[in-house]
A and B are shown apart, each in its own frame.
Chain A
Amino acid sequence: MVLQLMTERWTGEVSAVTIGAAAKDGGTRAYSIKIGGEKSLPCLFKEGTLPNKPQVAFEVFDVAPNDWPNEVLKPYGKSVNDPLEWAQMCVQDFKARSLCIRLLGAHPDFGNKSSEEEAQLIKKLLEKVSVPLIILGSGDDAKDNLLLPAISEAAKGECCLIGPAVQDNYKTIVAAALADGHCVIAESPIDVNIAKQLNILISDMGLPLERVVINPTIGALGYGLEYAYSIMERARLAALSGDKTLASPFICFVGQEAWRAKESKIETLPEQGIIWEVLTATALIQAGADLLIMRHPKAIEKVNRYIDNLMTNDRTQSSK
């Protein structure tokens, strides 16, 4: 007798979000990337289609980062002092498919660059590289409320993913994204309820949920990874059961968390940070991560290979 495996039938699906506008869509990007669209839990190819591969974006700062360990700065050399050069290096040397620009320099404590200055930088960056962009504010609410509308306007029509929108501060950024045709990162503090509430608030303002990506907030391996995992799983189960307000793809800031772990900073074990970043990333892919923001080129290479292996496995074929 053949053992019949149980398969779950889901009624809902994760919405597919497109980042980056190519010429045919009115932008200047060479291509766009698509994330989300899952109709099953991660890796359960037989239960439903998983049309889009998880994507990895390189993280680039507008000022030289002050808290990155040497190990992760090394591959970029001097270019970390110039965001344009750094971005170009990611694309040309490391074959980045998308970039995540963090405008830390606008933060009052880290340079307090003006919104105009940052808007100029984004314009130049869009000319320099042609990959889809993810753009993050400075992390200071008051400043971001001035900064992000300016950035959004500077990148109008390019369909960037901008953020973060948080429950206490989402209106300005959502309004800007609505006006300029961008997608928004909705960030919640490892809390499925707040993730959902924020999505409702955002869609109440008129931004379609197909243009929202959830940042569930994660912890690195050993620093609360399993907590993040379970929150993502809960949200994904709700999405697949038909809850539209949680059916957004996940963005996970893997590099930021992994390189903060003290295990990644041990000078005598230079490979360990890379391993830490890879393990955090692969675990989150299994939790349903759609877009991973990472730092070390070697780690990114390994994760990309892992994704390719996973998604082109013959198991994918059998789902047809």
Chain B
Amino acid sequence: MDKFKVTFLPDNKIVEVAKDTTILSAALSSGVCIKSDCGGDGVCGRCKVIVKKGRVLSQPSGLISAEDRKHNVHLACITTIHSDLEIEIPLESRLELTLGTEGIYSVSENVESGKKILSEISFKYCPLSTKLYLELPLPSLNDTASDLDRIFRGIRKTQNLPFVQTGLSNIRQLGELLRDSDWKVTVTLGKINDTLEIILVEPGDTSNRNFGICFDIGTTTISCQLVSLSSKKVLGTKAAYNKQAGFGSDVITRIIYSRQEEGMEKLHSAVTETMNQMIKELTVEHRVDLNDITCVVCAGNTTMIHLLLRVDPTYIKREPYVSTANFLPVLRAHEAGIIINPRGLLFCVPGVSSYVGGDTTSGVLSSGLYKEEGLSLLIDIGTNGEICLGSKDFLAACAASAGPAFEGSGVACGMRASTGAIQKVKIDAKSFSVTCSTIGDARPCGICGSGYIDLIASMLETGVIDRSGRIKLENHMRVRDSEAGKEFVLIFKEDSATSKDIVINEADIENLKRAKAAIYSAVSVLIKRMNFEFNDVKKIFIAGGFGTSLDVDNAIKIGLLPDVKREKIVFIGNSALSGARQMLLSIEASKKTDEIARKITYFELSADPGYMDEYMSALFFPHTDLNRFSSAK
């Protein structure tokens, strides 16, 4: 078979692939990531690359303009390789997944690990895995208990648990290990349901070196925290885009992709690679040995968990939308491809249904929604938005596909809430000059979710756009035509960190409008179907990967949140991640999530005849029915 060498510029990465391989898959094997929202169907037009040298064959596509063709621009997913190539990946087609070693913190999570936004729910401290240092008495002719019994005996002295078990591989090495270490060993114990298992036996005393990692695996963003299980301290927080984004931007496209040849393997390795890279960086930065990480907790939507565990997600997509498993047993992390201590445990937060997953359960846990006296609402604004309504008496949840716009993906100058992201914006009503603040006060590189909310609100207020989201300001230096309709320039290239103008265009506004309409209408339908009204809700928790703050007034002005008294709304940051962290530190919290997941009633929006109507009328700023937003009129 013919093999060709493909060089990707400007990275200068070279990969050898077989003839007829697409440029997109060659790029992925070389480790260069190209945007591909449609998952390689050739319909989104995001994967444009420039063929500098060599011969390729492209399927015809209307997404390549005559001008593009002149410059040898091709869609990477429908172009196959027929000679050695040199390919340039333009900036707009690159999917930035590179994790820096510093400064990529999602600030909302940093805040959580510092000062507590949430009223910390006090679960008894008893981590999912504990380390116990044992100094065992030497065996003698009077004490001939076996090595294993000796360890069991040592454990039972400190903890009164009747059932202790362990795996064969531990037993195999036990004899020599105990004698070599002078009978001084540290055992790592994991509680699996009601049984205590010896996960690991190590020589010497390592009991103060016990760490766990909690993950929030989102469709677009993955965030994680490294937690010391012995001191309860959060050592570090990381966030990164989910590498699976290269195979489609929403769960449905990814499920379809998983059916392709090797699709499942690619999706699985994309997510584990992202996670492993994050773990590795955390361990390097905080000088933690990978072997001392004994436990991982993952909160994620149902599809993400299926793909992580390489379980076929096909039936999530097909009516009647049933997942393979919502409650997963405790697993070995390495079974899922997560690199920590080879015997370390993996807990997945139990989910509710195909579209309301463990991240929601986790959010309900950390927000305390399940024990609220009055009717409360949790809105998790993500690619797959989840809404949970309830109190200590009942819980009902639904999911709304909002798209990744508020996570800064799929919009021209969008970015995650990390350093350099514009998170607050104000436009002057007369001169239309823009003042904004960025996370970390760095030079602006892009706009994050909370920045977009502010931006749209002030564009509405100053008349830059009309209520349908079209730019109506004319003859101004900040407004110009672009391929995606008109665009408004926030930051000119002289002042941006990317030396490119930071803009918002009409297609972005349309995207954000659809996202906010999906969330708002899901909230509205859920409340209506439960026979309540907005005013019956006493407290609204807003979760999501926004910056350090979210301007509630502006979120109401654009119609993302219902027009209720401002003091009812509490912004709680990444609630899925803090829920997973609580689980990591307490078996009781873990048991609580089981209880919560069983208690939540799932409400299928697609089966509701009123949802589409609600959605259509929410496609306006703030809403077609202005009476619902009397304070934002």
Q: Which residues of A contact B (CB under 8 A)?
A: 167-168, 171, 191, 193, 196-197, 200-201, 204, 243, 245
Contact = CB atoms under 8 A, between A and B. Distances in A.
15 contacts: A167-B468, A171-B472, A193-B616, A193-B617, A196-B617, A196-B624, A197-B467, A197-B619, A197-B624, A200-B467, A201-B467, A201-B468, A204-B466, A204-B467, A245-B626
Contacts of B626: 200, 245
A93 B624 CA distance: 46
Contact of A193 (B466, B467, B472, B624): B624
Interface string B293-311: 0000000000000000000
Interface centre among B466, B616, B625 (most CB of A within 10 A): B466
Contacts of B472: 171
B620 interface: yes
A196 B616 CA distance: 11
Contacts of A204: 466-467
Contact of B619 (A171, A193, A201): A193
Contacts of B620: 193, 197, 200
Interface in B599-633: 616-617, 619-620, 624-626
A168 to B, nearest CB: 8
B348 to A, nearest CB: 41
A193 B470 CA distance: 17
A78 B472 CA distance: 45
* Most chain A CB within a 10 A radius of its CB, from B467, B468, B620, B624: B624
A201 B466 contact: yes
A292 to B, nearest CB: 27
Given A171-B472, A201-B466, A243-B625, 12 more contacts: A167-B468, A191-B616, A193-B616, A193-B620, A196-B617, A197-B619, A197-B624, A200-B620, A201-B468, A204-B466, A204-B467, A245-B626
A169 B625 CA distance: 22
Closest 9 CB pairs of A and B: A193-B617, A193-B616, A197-B620, A196-B624, A193-B624, A197-B624, A201-B466, A197-B468, A201-B467
Nearest to A195: B624
Contacts of B619: 193, 197
Dominant secondary structure of chain A at its interface with chain B: helix
Nearest to B463: A204
A168 B624 CA distance: 16
Contacts of A243: 625
Contacts of A171: 472
Contacts of B625: 243
Interface string B140-169: 000000000000000000000000000000
A161 B624 CA distance: 25
Contacts of B617: 193, 196
Which of A167, A193, A196, A204 has the most chain B CB within a 10 Å cutoff?
A: A193
B583 to A, nearest CB: 43
B361 to A, nearest CB: 35
A197 B617 CA distance: 9
A96 to B, nearest CB: 36
Contacts of A168: 470
Interface in B228-275: none
B268 to A, nearest CB: 42
Interface in B463-484: 466-468, 470, 472
A120 to B, nearest CB: 29
A130 to B, nearest CB: 38
A201 B595 CA distance: 49
A197 B623 CA distance: 9
A191 B624 CA distance: 12
A201 B468 CA distance: 8
A245 B617 CA distance: 13
A201 B624 CA distance: 10
Contacts of A201: 466-468
Contacts of A193: 616-617, 619-620, 624
A171 B626 CA distance: 21
Contacts of A200: 467, 620, 624, 626
B18 to A, nearest CB: 48
A207 to B, nearest CB: 13
A201 B467 CA distance: 7
B312 to A, nearest CB: 39
A190 to B, nearest CB: 12
Contacts of A167: 468
A204 B472 CA distance: 12
Contacts of B624: 193, 196-197, 200
A79 to B, nearest CB: 42
A169 to B, nearest CB: 10
Nearest to B615: A193
Contacts of B468: 167, 197, 201
Interface string B331-365: 00000000000000000000000000000000000
A168 B468 CA distance: 9
Nearest to B620: A197
A156 to B, nearest CB: 24
A64 B450 CA distance: 56
A197 B619 CA distance: 9
Question: Which of A168, A200, A204 has the most chain B CB within a 10 Å cutoff?
Answer: A200
Interface in B444-471: 466-468, 470
A275 to B, nearest CB: 35
A199 to B, nearest CB: 10
Contacts of B616: 191, 193
Nearest to B616: A193
A93 B311 CA distance: 78
A51 B418 CA distance: 62
A194 to B, nearest CB: 9
A193 B619 CA distance: 9
A25 B617 CA distance: 39
A200 B616 CA distance: 15
Contacts of A197: 467-468, 619-620, 624
A200 B626 CA distance: 9
Interface in B413-467: 466-467
A173 B617 CA distance: 25
A63 B377 CA distance: 61
A171 B465 CA distance: 12
A243 B625 CA distance: 9
A245 B467 CA distance: 14
A204 B466 CA distance: 9
A196 B467 CA distance: 12
B190 to A, nearest CB: 54
Nearest to A191: B616
A234 B470 CA distance: 27
A299 B625 CA distance: 39
A264 B602 CA distance: 52
A204 B626 CA distance: 12
Of listed A197, A204, A243, residue having the most chain B CB within 10 A: A197
Nearest to B617: A193
A141 to B, nearest CB: 13
A243 B623 CA distance: 14
A196 to B, nearest CB: 5
Interface string B556-598: 0000000000000000000000000000000000000000000
Nearest to A171: B472
A168 B466 CA distance: 11
Nearest to A242: B627
B106 to A, nearest CB: 35
Nearest to B613: A193
A243 B617 CA distance: 14
A175 to B, nearest CB: 11
A193 B615 CA distance: 10
A290 to B, nearest CB: 22
Contacts of A245: 626
Nearest to A167: B468
A22 to B, nearest CB: 35
A197 B625 CA distance: 9
A28 B468 CA distance: 38
Contacts of B467: 197, 200-201, 204
A193 B624 CA distance: 7
